Amino acid sequence: MLGAAGAELPELSVEHEGDGHEFAAYRLVMSETGSLPLFPLASVLFPGMLLPLHIFEPRYRLLLDRAIRNSEPFGIVLIKNGPEVGGNAEPHRVGTTARVVGTTPLPGGRSFIIARGERRFEIERIDSEREPYLVGEVRYIDEDDGAEASELADRAADAFGDYLTGILATSTDARTGSPLGELRDGTPAEVSYRIAGGLGIDASERQRLLETERTAPRLESVIRLLVRENTLLKELVLRLRARGETPPLN
């Protein structure tokens, strides 16, 4: 059971379901192992994604102080069970290493930090007694693009462009342009993570994407989610336009 000192986790066999489609089952590709301080949160961090954090609990102030002082990463994992503040929450098995790239001290020993996701890992064992925070023995997960990843990345980028257009059409934000040029310059894996991080989906769907082993199946899941979200956005835009509350889509 997760959370017990030195507890060994059971073998994993998962079939995910969502929005009527089955997410690709995954077999994690492993490489090196290591010990990693863990920061369970109610949100998912993807590789390359920036995440702002308000650090106020003493145990996480200690964790971040050590990470900054030693220029070392820590692990961000989505909470599976338990509270985000106080106590030891049970995390999901797959998370992302993070490194502090910006920090602002606040009164009372608190701080505001910006963390950047780096690489995925799977927790093999958790120690809840070594430190005030959880420490995981982890295996780092290598990225495997899989077949047709480049073509899928282009399709996903096109669909994400429609998604951004729909978001702008439902808001009063007058900004123009989009980050699609920068998005298309990335590798298929980077495209999959950037889109996953930019979608307004719930944490469980984000976690499924993070856990998907290869890039190509992850992009296929991203495209399915974009089809769903774009359909909902178009329906919303039509209702708003009927009430004269938004300009027409270009």
In the prediction, which pLDDT does 171 show? 67
For 124, which DSSP code? E
In the prediction, which pLDDT does 7 show? 42
Domain with CATH 2.30.130.40 in the chain: 7-16+23-141
Name the class of domain 7-16+23-141.
mainly beta
Cα separation, 228 vs 214, whole angstroms? 22
Q: Are 59 and 132 contacting, i.e. CB atoms less than 8 angstroms apart?
A: yes
Average pLDDT of the chain, as a whole number: 83
Span 159-188, pLDDT tens digits: 999 999 888 877 655 454 555 667 778 899
Q: What is the number of other CB atoms lying within 10 angstroms of the CB of residue 176?
A: 6
Question: What is this structure's pTM?
Answer: 0.79
Q: Which of 116, 113, 102 is nearest to 49 (CA)?
A: 116
Q: Are 152 and 220 contacting, i.e. CB atoms less than 8 angstroms apart?
A: yes
- Can you give the length of the chain in residues? 250
